[in-house]
Amino acid sequence: MRRLSAILLLAGTALGAAGACSVEKAGGLSASEDGGGGSDAGQSVTSSCFPPSKACPDEAGGLICVSSNDPQSGCKASTSCAPCVLPHASAKCEDVKGCIVDHCDTDWSDCNGDPTDGCETSLGADPMNCGACGTDCAVTKAPGAVCIDGACADNPCSPPTNGNCDKDPSNGCEIDLLADPKNCSFCGNVCNLPHASSACEANPSGYPIARCVVQKCDDGWADCDGNPANGCESSASTDPSSCGGCGKKCNSTNGVAGCVAGKCDLICNPGFGNCDNNIDNGCETDLNAHVSNCGSCGNACPSANGTPTCVAGKCATGGCSTGYADCDGNPANGCETGTTTDPSHCGTCTTVCPGTPNGFPTCAGGACGVGCSPGFSTCGAGTTCFDTTVDPQHCGAGCKACPPPTAGNGSPACAGGNCTIACAQGLSPCGTACVDLKADSANCGVCGKVCSAASGGTSTCVNGACDVTCPPNVAECNNQCVDVFNDSSNCGQCGKKCGTNQSCSGGSCVCHWLFPKNCGSYCAGCCNHGDCSGGKKCYLGACW
């Protein structure tokens, strides 16, 4: 840390607890206490001053806070940062007036009673205060009398506006007391006004006869109060009340104004910032409440899904948009939680939607629900996820209730999302019924195999095979009761088929009357030419 031109003596319990304050380049307490900055002076003042501190230039051309009552920094009651300079006196600080007389130089006194303009009176040479304040030689001695070494004496000079200041009678009264800045009004009264080259001129009031006036101010200084007694009292380089010239007062709204090289600068009070970098409007921003500059310039409070606020320099959430909430309590991410869709914060921050077997919690419109894994469904309502591939009460895409078997002992079942049946032990499903394939004549051995018997016989299923019982004079052919006396496919015996144009009668194949000739395996009108008469021939079973 660089050497400082003044020691910071800031009171307060907070500072007492924190110990000594550090001062950054731009002055103030700490760069973490952002107070804004001033572009006019080429600085970026980012610190704070506690009133009634004042801002003074440091050795690097920035500002520091000065709160000590030190005459070397102009006293805290004065806006000037220049050391106190009082004619013919040492200075001290007073809380209201600032720089005042501490001790007068030898043979000098503060006879006008104004401690701010130094010890203006030479008791050894001032005829109006000769030897002591108020001793007027014109009264105690004679009009025109002079003061020599603190004693009144007759004035040997004529006119009395001249003086024998070298005390050499050979050159007479050689000094014009109305014009000599080394002997102004009386011998030995040297015009040495602060921060100025001085001149001597006749006093318009006539008494004393002359007065010291400013001839020219030193560079960087100005006579802004028009009082010649204190010379060029204003530092145009460092005094914020006359920065760059008389009447050019720096704005100190919510801060402490400073002047650096004749340009205004600024250190903000705690809690305020010059966030627009405009010196002319001071520290315009309340860092404790401004949502775009919360706690420090440029620190914008987030507005995600809500209304941001700044409270005591900390970002907070003023209110969340519908369907959102600040559930983590972190203002940096605003209203981060969507309570309309988040199953961990459904409707409110504390509502956690419960899960369910074979599913997962959901949140829609701020109300809890469930979602099911693939192959599972709530079937329209409730919070239970049913396995629609196997659940007979909630089977398939339509969540159907499967019916029981239409016959037989069994129960409804669901397989692969399709309704089926589950049959009792020893039974098998055939269509919608549970049947005994070993005994069911409609499903004998396999589903759909029907045991049947013609010609008045009976058919039963025994151990999964059809068993036929035929009446007398009826033969069993392939588990069928067949009348072999009249069956053209089993004529006289099983499997014997009658030929073309033949029929079975009495167990024998006989020809139809339209085809009387028995040609062996078939019957026709003729079998050969010999069967024809009248010279006709037999072609295709007919005589032509």
HEC profile of 156-191: CCCCCCEECCCCCHHHCCCEECCCCCCCCCCCCCCC
Torsion of CA 532, 534, 535, 541, to 10 degrees: -30
Give the DSSP H or E segment for 428.
Answer: strand 428-430
The larger pLDDT score, comparing residue 23 to residue 417, is at 417
pLDDT score, position 59? 74
What are the pLDDT digits (tens) for 246-267? 999 999 899 888 888 889 988 8
pLDDT score, position 285? 95
Q: What is the mean pLDDT of residues 494-501?
A: 88
**Cα(476)–Cα(321) distance, integer angstroms:** 91
Q: What is the mean pLDDT of residues 70-87?
A: 84
Confidence of residue 414 (pLDDT cuts 50, 70, 90): very high
Torsion of CA 148, 151, 153, 155, to 10 degrees: 40
Pick from 492, 493, 464: nearest CA to 478:
493
DSSP state of 402: P
Q: What is the mean pLDDT of residues 419-441?
A: 92
pLDDT score, position 18? 31
**Cα(335)–Cα(361) distance, integer angstroms:** 22
On average, the pLDDT of the chain sits at 83
pLDDT score, position 51? 61
Confidence of residue 6 (pLDDT cuts 50, 70, 90): very low
Percent of the chain having pLDDT more than 70? 90
Structure tokens at 31: 């760069």
State yes or no: cis peptide before 208, omega within 30 of 0. Answer: yes
Number of Cβ within a 10 Å radius of residue 31 = 16
Per the listing, tokens 């392939």 go with: 478
pLDDT score, position 68? 76
Please say whether the beta carbons of 490 and 479 come within 8 A. no
pLDDT exceeds cutoff 80 at 502: yes
pLDDT score, position 9? 28
Please say whether the beta carbons of 60 and 260 come within 8 A. no
pLDDT exceeds cutoff 70 at 23: no
Plot region of 183 (φ>0 → left; ψ -120 to 50 → alpha; else → beta): beta
What are the pLDDT digits (tens) for 482-493? 888 888 888 988
Pick from 544, 113, 12: nearest CA to 121:
113
pLDDT score, position 488? 87
Within 13 Å, how many C-alpha atoms sit on residue 168's CB side? 5
Annotate 179-205 with b (16+ C-beta within 10 A) or e (fewer).
ebbebbbbbbbebebbbbebbbbebee
pLDDT score, position 1? 28
pLDDT score, position 75? 86
Please say whether the beta carbons of 182 and 197 come within 8 A. no
pLDDT exceeds cutoff 80 at 441: yes
Please say whether the beta carbons of 38 and 277 come within 8 A. yes
Point out the least confidently predicted range of 280-294, 359-373, 412-426, 479-493: 479-493
What are the pLDDT digits (tens) for 443-471? 999 999 988 776 677 888 989 888 888 88
Please say whether the beta carbons of 211 and 194 come within 8 A. no
Strands 475-477 and 480-482: antiparallel
pLDDT exceeds cutoff 50 at 28: no
pLDDT exceeds cutoff 80 at 42: no
**Cα(286)–Cα(308) distance, integer angstroms:** 15
**Cα(62)–Cα(66) distance, integer angstroms:** 13
pLDDT exceeds cutoff 70 at 7: no
pLDDT score, position 70? 86
**Cα(222)–Cα(263) distance, integer angstroms:** 15
pLDDT score, position 454? 63
**Cα(40)–Cα(36) distance, integer angstroms:** 13
Torsion of CA 154, 157, 162, 165, to 10 degrees: -70
**Cα(89)–Cα(157) distance, integer angstroms:** 31
pLDDT score, position 91? 93
Structure tokens at 6: 């003044």
State yes or no: cis peptide before 471, omega within 30 of 0. Answer: no
pLDDT score, position 307? 87
Per the listing, tokens 């009552």 go with: 69
Q: What is the mean pLDDT of residues 340-368?
A: 92
